[in-house]
Structure 1
């Protein structure tokens, strides 16, 4: 088998749109057996699936009529060509993706997991240089992109802020982009003004990734968020189609929820509950975009009690830096996703997410720290998923995704078995 057993099985379930329970029943095994086959090979409970199961699953996946019944038809040509913008291999918006192409990207991210988890290394981007151009302060996104590029063998040149940069001296976006593209092989750009990253992209033919443009979009964050939801749902034996998704907080300026809502709309029959303070509601144009795509239910609310029955709660912080004349009416410390709220209105399988950073200070109206030891809190697993997803983005845009599997070799250092102290209970979920 050219790929790992874990990736093969997850790909099969994703292609056929089946939960673990239904998939196990379809191949005639118990769910517990399937779970052991899906564990990483280094896990103590990992088991190899029988050859007869491998042949059977391969036959199902390769059966065109069955795939057409359960999944969308696969488009032809390299993924980077199918998501290109004006013929350029750039990632500016989630609107470049359809459901089939986004799940194809996630299959590449699955391949990246052993590298992201420090089990393997790859040098497919050796010699390539990434320019991280962050004209707005960032820690997580900037380091995540840099780490992802480095883990594929590339190197990174960072720049943060523009107070003393050439742009502060009057240089145009076009000039800056054209000059930088002569130095590096790909650029990630974050800028405080909506639409500015598209201007950078127009001035160059090298890959450009939108790392966040004002209150506009944050496509890589939305992709890693969706990847996290699908991964968590796989662990819980759920399908995304038909799920209840709650988004809370600053939905007006929160670019992560703008992009995520558009991506989630590629699935079928979702219920979206959008909970915000007065004046910070989701922009109408995004709601209209989602409403056109499928038979979704969209409800807007100002009451956190409407998280009741959610499968996913996606909390956001208030984007005060983007305010003009907004008032925080009704946005007090009571408007907080807390353990008490989750316990009262949700069950044990709800997934609580946040794009980070969150305001952890006492009295903050953000995701409460009293959920830190709760297994329903997925924010650190969510952040960890940024590495394989961003590795996949770079691999696809630079056309090396098919080289990764055969380029891997074992790491030479001793990584920890769990990245964080809260990981042990979820070891093997990927």
Structure 2
């Protein structure tokens, strides 16, 4: 079944967690009619064949909550108020119309500095989090955006702000220091009018999410494995005469079949559309001898991002010397940059130790040398030397941080471009590459 080699690291199955019985391998209830979303039986079967251990969901959820609590207590914050659905997912592991809620803030979550969680869900959706014991209260009424509340937006925002003030008094006494990740203007205004001090909740959550425990890493292994199986099906569908959309649709379908959730972008291009980068897939018919390049940007099982990039030849034609050169430059770039990684390095040190792109490829360099990854692209962003002073910031690599190491290589005005990206985890002594999908021998050859 396995179409490519798999690292043997941390690939042991606990017999007590095999399929069947009252619980699934991740500890979720084995109920065909369950409300919670999650991996399909196909995914569990494939993971078992690959020797992968699913996460223990109860333990993972508790770890995440304690990460948030630690960041709140460090800053003497009464709590954090969350509207970003990815942050709500991290705090509660609850999910509800994730993409829709991203641009319609109809859900919210409060986490106190002592770990008390209150979830405001979309109306009549209390049942969606009933399986989550860490969620102590489920309420409604966190919507105060114009589509939902029209010319009564201020009224609804004022009511919600008053509710938050009461919650802060109950759980934090006189401490009115509240972190918020994202909020509608009306809500921000009403909270400040009540004397609540607002702090940066994105900082709290990004730093909490940055370091993964064993269960999150296992969830990431599973998500990546499912994504790579989907990529194999994509590659088999990459033949002359089909459209870019035909190929991309395979990734969507195979992700959903395994309990994956959505794809954040649709960055796939072929032939002359591979240069410049960031062109999204469309109706173009792919041709023999062209390159096809893509970035998965995929939210897979457990809501974990698998952010991988590969570039393939279309058809059986021998690659040109230019195609091989571009591929080799990109390959050497990410191999060098991941091999320098170790805990304790500052982000600046990573930038300075990184391999410089040849000068002709720098104008179209990717936005980052590498970035964090978890539920989506996350902190940190580690910049190229050219961007360090304008956009760089510092921090330190820690064991448990997951990073995507990537490169785009293409000349300004060139015919082709190559995109490659692997996902790694920082360990106690260095790094481990979680990615197993092979590179293309025909493009690496001399």
What is the TM-score when the length of structure 1 is the normalising length?
0.24
What is the TM-score when the length of structure 2 is the normalising length?
0.24
Question: Which is greater in Rg?
Answer: 2
| Structure with more strand by fraction | 2
Tell me: higher relative CO, structure 1 or 2? Use CA pairs within 8 A at least 6 residues apart: 1
